[in-house]
Amino acid sequence: MQPLPLISAQDIAARVAALGSEIAAQLPDETLTAVGVLCGAFVFMADLVRAIPRDVRCDFLGVRSYGAATETSGVVQITSDLNLPLAGQHVLLVEDIVDTGLTLRYLLDLLEARGPASLHVCTLLNKPSRRRVSVPLDFVGFDIPDRFVVGYGLDAGQKYRNLPYVAAIDEQQPPTSSR
C-alpha cells in the first residue's frame, strides 16, 4: 500500500510553476547554473528548471551525510562533484528538503569558495522547527511540520522516490543510507 499524500501532485506542480516565475523575476537576467543535490532533488530539479524561462545550465552534486541513524551530523561526503566551474556564475542550489540545515550550511560554504557571481537556494520543502543552524532560503516550495516525508524524489531506505506526490510516513525511522 502506498502512503497517503501530504502534498498532492497538483499542488506541487502549481507551486513549482510559481517558483520558476519567482526565480526568473528575482535573479539577474543572465544564464543560471542550477545545482541539484542528489539524489533527493532530482525530480524537483527536473520540473523546476523547465519552469524557469531562462538559459539554465544544469549540474549535480552527489552527497552523503555521516551521522547517527536518524540525525544528520552536518559532515557531508561529496560522492560526485560538479562538472561545471562556478566561478563568475549565477548559481541556484536546488535541495529537496532543509531539515536541521547542517547539510545546506556545508554545501553553501563549499560552493561559495568556488567564486560564483551569486549564490541562491531553492528548496522544495522546509522543516523550520528542526533548524539547528541558520541558513538563507531564498525560495521555498512548502513549509512542513516535523514529519518524515517521502516521494517526489525523497526516500526512506531508497524507497518511494518515484511517488508523484509527497507523503508522510512517521512510523518509519529514516535510515542513514537515505540521506
C-alpha cell at 138: 531564498
Q: Which is nearer to Mg ion, 32 or 149 (CB)?
A: 149
Query: Where does this chain touch Mg ion (CB under 5 A) — which range of 66-74, 88-96, 130-138, 160-168?
Result: 88-96
DSSP 8-class letter at 159: B
Q: How far apart are CA 148 and CA 159, in angstroms?
A: 13
According to DSSP, the β-strands at 166-168 and 76-80 are unpaired
User: Active site includes 99?
Assistant: yes
DSSP 8-class letter at 100: S
Residue nearest to Mg ion (CB): 40
82-111 positions binding ligand IMP, by CB under 6 A = 95-104
State CA 41 to chain mean position distance. Answer: 5
Could you give the string, one character per residue 22-51, with x where binding to ligand IMP holds by CB under 6 A and - elsewhere? ------------------x-----------
Instruction: Considering the candidates 47, 99, 155, 170, report the single residue annotated as catalytic.
Output: 99
What b/e string do you get for 8-44 counting C-beta neighbours within 10 Å, with b at 16 or more?
eeeebeebbeebbeebeeebeeeebbbbbbbbbbbbb
Could you give the string, one character per residue 58-87, with x where binding to ligand IMP holds by CB under 6 A and - elsewhere? -------x------x---------------
Q: Which is nearer to ligand IMP, 69 or 117 (CB)?
A: 69
61, amino acid identity: L
Q: Does residue 39 have a cis peptide bond before it, meaning omega lies within 30 degrees of 0?
A: yes
* 100 binds, options Mg ion, ligand IMP, none, Cβ within 5 to 8 A by partner type: ligand IMP
Q: Which is nearer to ligand IMP, 24 or 82 (CB)?
A: 82
- Altogether, the residues listed in the chain come to a count of 179
Q: Which is nearer to ligand IMP, 49 or 102 (CB)?
A: 102
| Contact residues: ligand IMP, CB under 6 A | 40, 65, 72, 95-104, 148-150, 154, 174, 178-179
